[in-house]
Structure 1
Amino acid sequence: MLSYRTRRRLSLLALVVGLPLYIVVAVSVVNWAEARWGAMPVWGALLVYIGLGLLWALPLKPVFTGIGKADPEQDKRPQ
């Protein structure tokens, strides 16, 4: 299991670098699909973007778990 500090750093990296890259790739893929097969209805595009918006978080759920809480290892460290 990753330590709290490691998960915190990975979550920051994922949000600052990974999420913007994922957005660019997702929009590019949807635009490519629309150019190839024609425009989707508005509700279809909305469903695709909602699905892609949720999809990025699934593999990163273990990294984000507990990040908003206080460091549980801080009490164990000698001061």
Structure 2
Amino acid sequence: MALSYKSRKRWSLVVLLIGLPLYIVVAVSVVNWLDRPPILVELLVYIVLGFLWMLPFKFVFLGVGQPDPDADE
């Protein structure tokens, strides 16, 4: 089931305003759980976690910055 442009735009706002801050808290908690690893390992963990959060939501963000294709000219 494909999402309409309006629903993708709304879901992208939900993901960015609610989901992303929650994910940041989880990512920081994971790094703290690792008992303060060396700086390069910590950086690598943040990069990997920063990339992984967007993979499940890729379909939500596709085309959100473009004009509404269903809008009248």
Please indicate, yes or no, whether the TM-score normalized by the shorter chain is above 0.5: yes
Structure 1 regions of 5+ residues with no counterpart?
Answer: none
| Number of aligned residue pairs | 72
Query: C-alpha offsets along residues 15-58 of structure 1, whole Å, 9 cap, x if unaligned?
Result: 00000000001111210122xxxx31111110000010111001
Quick one: which amino acid aligns to residue 51 of structure 1?
A: V
Match of 2:26 in 1: 25
Q: 1: distance between equivalents of 2:72 and 2:56?
A: 29
- Distance in 2 separating the partners of 1:20 and 1:50: 16
Residue 38 of structure 2 is matched in structure 1 by: 41
Corresponding residue of 2:13: 12
Any unmatched runs of 5+ in structure 2?
none
68, 72, 78: which one aligns with 2:65 = 68
Q: Which runs of 4+ in 1 moved over 2 A?
A: none
Larger radius of gyration: 1
TM-score (norm 2): 0.92
Q: CA RMSD in A?
A: 1.3
